[in-house]
Amino acid sequence: MVTIKSDKEIKLMKEACRITGLVYKELEKYIKPGLSTMDLDRFADKIIRENGGIPAQKGYPSGIKGVPPFPATLCVSINDEVIHGIPSEKKIIHDGDVVSIDLVVYKDGFNGDAARTFIVGKGSDEAKRLVDVTKKAFFEGIKYAVKGNRIGDISHAIGEFVESNGFNVVREFQGHGIGREMHEDPGIPNYGKAGRGIRLEPGMTLAVEPMVIAGNRDIYQDYDGWTILTDDGSLSAHYENTILITEKEPEILTLI
């Protein structure tokens, strides 16, 4: 069921989203070669808790028998890792790495969700273009995130933009509604036909998140039960924000 948030609920949700945006602002200054992905995790966890938030992904159930809940604050995915990479002391960030980070902050009953991809040090031209196209795909999509349009209008715009630039979107995972729960209705694919899906109404809050692969779109799940990787070893990027549907243009809640 799609939930329409009241003005009071939106105000509370904006604070969770503000903390999410703050973490990325600080991570952008902190990330560098030589750090472990666990260093990033501890850094983010500290900022979240200092601001009264809770890392919502920590302890999130896998939904897969035998796979334990997610153990960390951040999902940190490097190069051919698409999403859900588990932070580790042993996983060291190197110059030129493409590092995608996904974060959900919970505060006062609501969630804020965003993802960013950083090129650490000197990245390749392909990596730079991939990250740029992924970010731009988000903004192409939310041009259609307006009252009266449909979810499929967002999905179509993202997929068309990505594919017109020679890349592929991940089809097995998608964006989603968000609010009191991390994942709510509706699902928001990054591909599809315009004019389909539910109509957008003011008060809807959505996590729109292009996940883009430089090579073919096939993916697989790692033995840890969480990490998703590109099948051909090609690079991947991820960009996400929580947005609010309004009477006019969409409001991006996780950009500060």
Chain segment 38-57, per-residue pLDDT in tens: 999 999 999 999 999 999 99
Is residue 232 within 8 A of residue 74, CB to CB? The reply is no
The beta strand positions in 170-208, using DSSP E, are: 175-177, 184-188, 205-208
Domain ranges of the chain: 7-252
- Residue 20 near residue 112 (C-beta atoms within 8 A): yes
How far apart CA 17 and CA 112 sit, in angstroms, is 4
Question: What digits encode the pLDDT tens for the residues 99-140?
Answer: 999 999 999 999 999 999 999 999 999 999 999 999 999 999
| Residue located via tokens 């990325």 | 24
Q: Calculate the dihedral angle through the C-alpha atoms of 127, 133, 139, 144, rounding to the nearest 10 degrees.
A: -150
pLDDT at residue 256 greater than cutoff 90:
no
Q: Span 7-252: which CATH code? A: 3.90.230.10
| Confidence at residue 209, expressed as pLDDT on a 0 to 100 scale | 98
